[in-house]
Structure 1
Amino acid sequence: MRPGRAWAWLVAGLLFPAWAQAAVEPAGQQAGADRACPPPLRVEPAYPADMIQAQREGELLLALAVDDCGRVTNAAVRRGSDQPALDAAALEAARQWVLAEDARLPAGDGRVLVPVAFRIPPAKAHAYGGPDWPESHRRVRYVAELLDGYATPTEVLDRYPLDPEAMITPPYPRVRSMFFRQRGADPREYWLFLYLQGRPAVAARYRLVHEGGEPLVRVAILCDNTGSACTRDSRLLMRGLPFAKAR
């Protein structure tokens, strides 16, 4: 064989495997990937915030069609909860599920029946204590600030990561209210909620800070009431809490 032809065959021998791998192996790999089943997955339904606020619970029964891997291909409500928002939340979650093999036992019509329950967890029990307010901030200036991203007290209760570390005896005994210190907040943070006819009408966040060597209480107030009532309540809160009056 002439040297040139030998070199040509050598090059061809080196290139062909790469060409074959690019043209043939991906297809085989893809086929294998298609045959591989995903692991079981159970996405918990998102409890609608308005249902939690209204203290609405419910149970329903879903009828699911699944493929050989347990992936849900179709979901329907077999028995509803009488709360359309809860039924819709359950369906949205179920369409993402991959059922484990032992959870795919079909009913008479070939569907898999799965019960779903929405239950509001019981409120944590907290012992109420004294003000738990440091002496350094008992006679200082109160400075108003904004609470970005929130417009009403209800939005705070629904979305703010509230985590009471110490429940405190409410400072205004004639008004239905809730007062607590936020867990782990730095600077120290307190929350006061005032209720009107069973709904949160005022939310106030108190942050105890030091600025320029001066202790301050920064207060963010959200009010969901008439204009005159909000003005009145804001003035009251900016005068300071009963045990920590503003200077």
Structure 2
Amino acid sequence: MPSSPRWPFTSSGRATLKKVLLIGAGVACLAAAQSAIPVHAQPQTQAPAADTQECPARQLRPPRYPMAQAKAGRGGHGVVSIAFDACGRVTDVRMAKKTGNRALDEASLATARTWTLGKPQPDWKLVDGRYEAPVDFFPPSEVGAMSSPEQLGWPATHARPRYELESASEALPSFAEAHSLISGAFLQGRIGAPLYLPGLPMYERGLFVATGNAAAPEFWYRNGNLAARYRPVVENDEPVVKVALVCATAQDGCAQYQADVLKGLPFAKAKN
């Protein structure tokens, strides 16, 4: 494994990594937040009732960002209007609000035709019986520069905290939800930096981003099919970091990383 850079990274290293991250952030879009349901002022109508058949799972992958538009710095915000059947399968799509760019509109519609909304729910806010999904294309130049953990809001009180795993009673997000949170952090420009820690497989390479706020700081680390959430808290006047592990595969796949997690992050190693 190559030698591990110290924190902070060199300017040349940051520039190279920033370029890679910004490309990834540029092709992300808000539709990746699969649980988001836009709220509208129009009168609500009930979603069609699904019959007893087993409906396909919800799937809202983000539209492909046309590379020519991304390179040219052309972005936009739009809303896709979707008609669907009793199981949430798409039957018709149109732009309720155009992005202002024909190529981006076409990319949005092409992807929306492949979506599955899942079994309709009573609390869906519909417009004329149709589901509306926002789509956002953020050119790389619009995404904020890579930041250090301190700049992202990692508390100074947690330079040498105690680490502990979240209890089994805590409601943990799914891997898909974790991915959406991280994508949302990209879109907000809250891009972190990669973490490297020699000898700990979990931190060989990956991305660290902020997803919380000043009142409730929260951070995620993502590496392939593994994601970890870090919540800095204070318990009995002691700095503690609560850690939740989420795997794309069976939860048992996360167990091998628990010992590494409890040793701490590279910039905030666990208290001895």
What TM-score comes out, normalization by structure 1 length?
0.49
What TM-score comes out, normalization by structure 2 length?
0.45
Rg comparison, structure with higher value = 1
Higher strand share: 1
If asked which structure has higher relative contact order (CA below 8 Å, sep 6+), I would say: 2
